[in-house]
Amino acid sequence: MKYVLIIGAKSELGIELALLYAKNKYNLYLAGRSIDSIKNKADRIAKENNVQITLHELDITNLNSHQEFYDSLNIKPIGIIYAAGYTPKQSEALLNWKETSNTINVNYIGAISILNIAVLEFQKSQRGFIVGITSVAGLRGRGENYIYGSAKAGFMTYLNGLRNSLSKYNINVLTVIPGLIKSRKGSQYNLPEFLYVKPKILANSIFRSQQSNRSIIYSGLAWRVIMFIIKIIPDFIFKRMSI
C-alpha cells in the first residue's frame, strides 16, 4: 500500500493535492494543526476514490513531537509533501518576536526537523520522494518581506542539498517555487490577476512534476521572468528600490 504524507494539508493547495493523489490511488496521511476541521472533506475524497485517508494532528513548531508523530505512522509514506507555511506582515514580525519565530519555525526549522526523520527511512528503503513548497520570496531578500523570505531561502538551500545527497538512493526531491497562490480568502496584495495561480492548477503541476522526477518548478512563466530580472539587478540599484 502506497501512502503519501501531506503536511499542511488544511490549506487549499493541500486539499487539492490530497484530491489529486487520491485519484491516482495513493493512500494519504493528512497532517496539520486542528486537522479535524477537514474531516468531512477527507472522508468524501477517500470514499469517492476508494483509498485510505487518516488525519493526524501535528504542530510543526513543536519539534519534540516530530519523532513520535513519524513513529506513529504504521505504514511509512513513500512520499512527503511539505505544504505548511506562515506568512506574517513584515511590520508585525518586526515588532513581535513571536511572529518572527513562528515564521522561521514553520517555514524552515520545522520542515527540516520532520524531513530529517523521514530521510533516514527513505535511505534504508532506497525509494521515495520529497516535495517542498517554497516561495519566490526566498530568491532575493526584499525590504517588504525579508524575514519570511530568509526562511524560505533557507528551506530552498536545504532542499537543494537534500536533492544532491539523495540522488544516489533513487529518491527525488522537488522544489516548488510559487509566486502568489489565489485564495478564497483574498490577498493583501493588489496585483494583476495573471500573477496569481489557482491551487488546483498548481497542484496538477506539482503532481506531474513529481511523477516525472523533476527538480525545480515555478508556478508560472511570469514569476520565472520577474525573479530572473530581480536577481540580476545590481545591488547598488536594488537597495534603493521599494519592492
CATH number of domain containing 41: 3.40.50.720
Q: Is residue 41 part of a domain?
A: yes
Taking only the tens place, the pLDDT of each residue in 39-71 is 999 999 999 999 999 999 999 999 999 999 999
Q: Is residue 208 part of a domain?
A: yes
Q: Is residue 243 part of a domain?
A: no
Q: 66: Cβ–Cβ under 8 A, 6 or more apart, which residues?
A: 110, 113, 114, 117
Q: Is residue 209 part of a domain?
A: yes
**Residue written as grid cell 506539482:** 206
pLDDT of residue 224: 74
Q: What is the mean pLDDT of residues 190-216?
A: 87
Whether 14 contacts 41, CB under 8 Å:
no
Q: Tell me, what DSSP letter sits at residue 107? A: I
Cα→Cα distances 51→8, 28, 103, Å: 20, 8, 34
pLDDT of residue 164: 96
Q: Is residue 12 part of a domain?
A: yes
User: Cα separation of 10 and 18, whole Å?
Assistant: 10
Domain count, the chain: 1
**Domain housing 191:** 3-238
pLDDT of residue 233: 80
Taking only the tens place, the pLDDT of each residue in 158-179 is 999 999 999 999 999 999 999 7
Q: Is residue 165 part of a domain?
A: yes
Crossing angle (nearest 10°) for helices 199-211 and 12-23? 50
Q: Is residue 150 part of a domain?
A: yes
Q: How confident is the model at residue 185 (pLDDT cuts 50, 70, 90)?
A: low
Cα→Cα distances 48→12, 24, 45, 215, 240, Å: 19, 12, 5, 31, 54
DSSP-H helix ranges across the chain: 12-23, 39-49, 66-71, 90-95, 97-104, 110-125, 146-166, 199-211, 221-232, 235-238
Q: What are phi and psi of 79, to 5 degrees?
A: -150, 150
